[in-house]
Amino acid sequence: MPAVKTTPFSLVVAVVLTLTVSCHRDNGNGDSLYRTQMREFVQSISIYARGIRPGFLVVPQNGQELLTENGESNGPLAQSYLDAIDGVGREDLFYGFNQDNQPTPASDREYMLGFLARALSCGKAVLVTDYCWTPARVDDSHNQNSSRGFISFAADHRDLDNIPPYPAVPFSVNGDSVTSLAAARNFLYLINPDSFLGRTAFLNAIRATNYDLLIVDLFWGAAALTAADVDTLKLKNNGGQRLLIAYCSIGEAEDYRYYWQPEWAANPPSWLSEENPDWPGNYRVRYWDPAWQAIIFGNDQSYLKRILDAGFDGVYLDTIDTFEFFEEQ
The answer to the question of residue 208 being in a domain is yes
- In the chain, what are the helix, strand and coil shares in percent, each to the nearest 5? 35, 20, 45
The answer to the question of residue 77 being in a domain is yes
Phi, psi dihedral angles at 77 (to 5 degrees): -70, 140
Q: 35-63, pLDDT tens digit by residue? A: 999 999 999 999 999 999 999 999 999 99
Spatial separation of the C-alpha atoms in residues 81 and 68, rounded to whole Å = 9
pTM of the model: 0.91
Q: What is the mean pLDDT of the chain?
A: 91
Q: Residue 132: which of 124, 120, 144 has the closest Cα?
A: 144
The answer to the question of residue 303 being in a domain is yes
Q: 79-98, pLDDT tens digit by residue? A: 999 999 999 999 999 999 99
Res. 216: pLDDT tops 80: yes
| Domain harbouring 263, CATH code | 3.20.20
Give the domain range for residue 305.
9-327
Tally the domains of the chain: 1
The answer to the question of residue 41 being in a domain is yes
The answer to the question of residue 292 being in a domain is yes
The answer to the question of residue 2 being in a domain is no
Res. 161: pLDDT tops 70: yes
The answer to the question of residue 4 being in a domain is no
